[in-house]
């Protein structure tokens, strides 16, 4: 997805939100915004938003000196999600279509996104997403391709959401490589967050190498790129991965809640819609 003009004010909101989690020093916070101001002119609209996101969160780390501002929040999200895990599992097991219910649960977990906001009620979101109509619903194609593939490349998004992903991974019954970010960025899951969620019990965890808040291929490592290029079934969770990968020429299924109106508009849906969208299917 390209950068929309509307993304620019949002870059400043995001930087301030992340900065405030790292420090209360107004001078440092102003310096973050000043420096982002200076780079706006160098951001072509052709770039994807995560390319700029990467620079923004680098600035936050550099100026505040805090490498992982969301660490505590990520831990809490994972603990909260782990406490819900038995309920999520029983919801799947008591449903008519277990795979679809697990997909819905994985999408519900995508609300745990501190890049967009920091107010949500996870139980309420689960309840809503379990019965909500999909705005885009490529479920038949998803099942067809899933049946044919030998391995799933599952590109994760946020810490805590990882536990919801685990529920879907367990339901797909195929070998899974679960991809995390290399460097902490917002509350996106890194290796330790995935371990904390128990992803290592159900999948092979792999760092993509990126520090962008989305799986930005030009920043990914060779190991990831080798696997990605050969992959026949990719799942990409959340907005950041959609932004980074929506123009790819490979089969990808995006699972997300459209939390931002700009992204919703790019996909052609409304804000708050839930999406199971395949490209190149």
Q: Which residues of 226-249 are buried (b: 16+ CB within 10 A; e: fewer)?
A: ebbeebebbbbbbbbbbbbbbeee
| One residue of 25, 45, 204, 271 binding a second copy per CB under 8 A | 45
Residue 34 binds a second copy, judged by CB under 8 A? yes
CB 12 → a second copy: shortest distance, Å?
4
Residue 251 binds a second copy, judged by CB under 8 A? no
Judged by phi (left if over 0) then psi (alpha if -120 to 50, else beta), residue 173 lies in: left
In whole angstroms, what separates CA 278 from the centre of its chain? 16
Residue 25 binds a second copy, judged by CB under 8 A? no
CB 4 → a second copy: shortest distance, Å?
10
CB 29 → a second copy: shortest distance, Å?
5
Direct distance between the N- and C-terminal alpha carbons of the chain, in angstroms, rounded to an integer: 18
Stretch that binds a second copy, among 38-46, 157-165, 172-180, 242-250 (CB under 8 A): 38-46
| One residue of 24, 41, 148, 230 binding a second copy per CB under 8 A | 41
The mark string for 91-120 relative to a second copy (x by CB under 8 A, - otherwise) is: ------------------------------
Q: Please name the residues in contact with 201: beta carbons below 8 A apart, sequence gap of 6 or more.
A: 166
> For residues 245 and 252, is the Cβ–Cβ distance under 8 A?
yes
Q: Which two tokens stand for residue 248?
A: 């790819």
Judged by phi (left if over 0) then psi (alpha if -120 to 50, else beta), residue 277 lies in: beta
The mark string for 160-199 relative to a second copy (x by CB under 8 A, - otherwise) is: ----------------------------------------
In whole angstroms, what separates CA 239 from the centre of its chain? 6
CB 261 → a second copy: shortest distance, Å?
13
Q: Please name the residues in contact with 38: beta carbons below 8 A apart, sequence gap of 6 or more.
A: none
Residue 18 binds a second copy, judged by CB under 8 A? no
- Binding residues with a second copy: total (CB under 8 A): 22
Q: How, if at all, do strands 274-279 and 252-257 pair?
A: antiparallel
Residue 13 binds a second copy, judged by CB under 8 A? yes
Phi, psi of 59 (to 5 degrees): -60, -45
Stretch that binds a second copy, among 3-11, 130-138, 236-244, 260-268 (CB under 8 A): 3-11
Stretch that binds a second copy, among 23-31, 115-123, 145-153, 167-175 (CB under 8 A): 23-31
Stretch that binds a second copy, among 25-33, 99-107, 219-227, 257-265 (CB under 8 A): 25-33
> For residues 155 and 242, is the Cβ–Cβ distance under 8 A?
no
Neighbours of 206 (CB within 10 A): 21
Q: Which is nearer to a second copy, 36 or 279 (CB)?
A: 36
Distance between CA atoms of residues 164 and 174, nearest Å: 17
Residues of this chain that interact with a second copy (CB under 8 A) are 5-6, 8-13, 16, 26, 29-30, 33-41, 45
């Amino acid at each position: 997805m390209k950068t929309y003009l509307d993304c620019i004010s949002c870059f400043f909101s995001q930087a301030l939100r992340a900065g405030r989690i790292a420090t209360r020093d107004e001078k440092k916070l102003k310096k973050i915004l000043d420096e982002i101001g200076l780079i706006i002119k160098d951001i072509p609209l052709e770039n994807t938003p995560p390319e700029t996101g990467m620079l923004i969160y680098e600035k936050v780390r550099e100026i505040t000196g805090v490498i992982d501002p969301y660490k505590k929040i990520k831990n809490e999200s994972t603990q909260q999600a782990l406490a819900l895990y038995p309920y999520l599992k029983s919801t799947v097991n008591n449903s008519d279509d277990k795979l679809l219910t697990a997909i819905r649960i994985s999408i519900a977990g995508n609300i745990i996104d501190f890049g967009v906001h920091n107010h949500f009620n996870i139980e309420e979101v689960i309840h809503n997403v379990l019965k909500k109509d999909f705005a885009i619903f490529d479920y038949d194609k998803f099942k067809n391709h899933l049946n044919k593939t030998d391995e799933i490349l599952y590109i994760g998004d946020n810490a805590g959401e990882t536990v919801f992903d685990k529920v879907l991974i367990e339901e797909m019954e195929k070998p899974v490589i679960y991809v995390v970010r290399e460097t902490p960025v917002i509350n996106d899951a890194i290796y330790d967050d995935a371990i904390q969620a128990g992803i290592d019990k159900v999948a092979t965890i792999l760092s993509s190498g990126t520090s962008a808040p989305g799986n930005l291929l030009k920043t990914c490592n060779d190991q990831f790129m080798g696997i990605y290029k050969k992959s026949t079934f990719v799942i990409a969770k959340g907005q950041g991965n959609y932004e980074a990968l929506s123009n790819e020429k490979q089969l990808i299924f995006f699972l997300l809640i459209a939390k931002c109106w700009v992204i919703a508009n790019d996909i052609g849906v409304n804000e708050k819609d839930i999406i199971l969208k395949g490209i190149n299917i």
